[in-house]
Amino acid sequence: MFSPDHANYPNTGRFLAGRLRHEMSEDERAGLETLVSEVKDHKNGDRLIARGDTCNHSTMLIEGFTLRTLEADDRRHGVSFHVPGDFIDLHCFTLKKLDHNIDCVGPVKVGLVPHEAIADVMKDKPHLARLLWFSTLLDAAMHREWIFKLERLTTPKRIAHIFAEIWRRLQMVGMGFDDGFETPLRQSDIADMCGATAIHTNRALSFLREEGIANFQRGEVRIKSRERLEAFAEFSQDYLYGDGDLSLAGDGIKAA
């Protein structure tokens, strides 16, 4: 399991862990940490950003989970999720207003980075700026995978794919276990994420448990076999740019 330097950089130490953090100099790591001007705690269900809000800062997720959501026909739809170390709304720097919401799932701690500070990075620290840019492109890669895979999978496979991705991403930042992970996600959140009704989600979770693929209960997901889970979910980790064919280990984003 990857061990991030979270102790030295408590607010930003998980950023790009398991991907390109090795490309960051100590100066860049320290500089990134100082970008956080304020740390805030939020409770389950808080909406960090609502669609159309004007944003003057971007948000580093320090602890907890968040969901990126859209609302239609009196229902919430989860279109992606975030784990600690994610710069969850870095694209706010250019867009200023989002076309979606960002909601807390369980208790959440975030670090606020003023856009003025990001502008200084763009001007004075081009290598760090490219790493920030990479993180937004990584978000896009994960969105593409969700569109491609989750549209064509059955509900049990969609849920298995979500579990497989969360597990991999948490292990990248040193938070997953050998046999699964802890999560504040509720059954209703999973239903929102895979576009299924509560009844179909319940049946799919029962199927995964009965088949010995994944057991979701009491804030934990336990998995007997990663190989079986990922095969069932038609999951390949390449799009996460950690291990796999698209791994950046040894390549990296060098300074221009």
At 207-221, the pLDDT tens digits run 999 999 999 998 999
Per-residue tokens: 162: 């979500």
Of 239, 70, 236, nearest to 144 by C-alpha is 239
- Strands of the chain, DSSP E: 38-42, 47-49, 57-72, 75-82, 101-114, 180-182, 215-217, 220-222
Mean pLDDT of 45-49: 95
Q: Reply yes or no on whether the pLDDT at 249 is more than 80.
A: no
Mean pLDDT of 87-107: 93
Q: What percentage of the chain carries pLDDT values higher than 90? A: 80
The mean pLDDT of the chain is 92
pLDDT of amino acid 253: 56
pLDDT of amino acid 33: 97
Q: Reply yes or no on whether the pLDDT at 172 is more than 80.
A: yes
pLDDT in tens, 126-171: 999 999 999 999 999 998 998 888 778 999 999 999 999 999 999 9
pLDDT of amino acid 254: 56
Cβ within 8 Å of residue 20, ≥6 positions away: 131, 134, 248, 252, 253
Q: Reply yes or no on whether the pLDDT at 1 is more than 50.
A: no
Q: Reply yes or no on whether the pLDDT at 45 is more than 60.
A: yes
Distance CA 146, CA 251 (A): 26
pLDDT of amino acid 255: 47
Distance CA 142, CA 129 (A): 20
**What are the chain's domains?**
21-141 (2.60.120.10), 150-240 (1.10.10.10)
pLDDT in tens, 224-246: 999 999 999 999 999 999 887 87
Q: Reply yes or no on whether the pLDDT at 18 is more than 50.
A: yes
Angle between helices 226-233 and 155-172 (to 10 degrees): 130
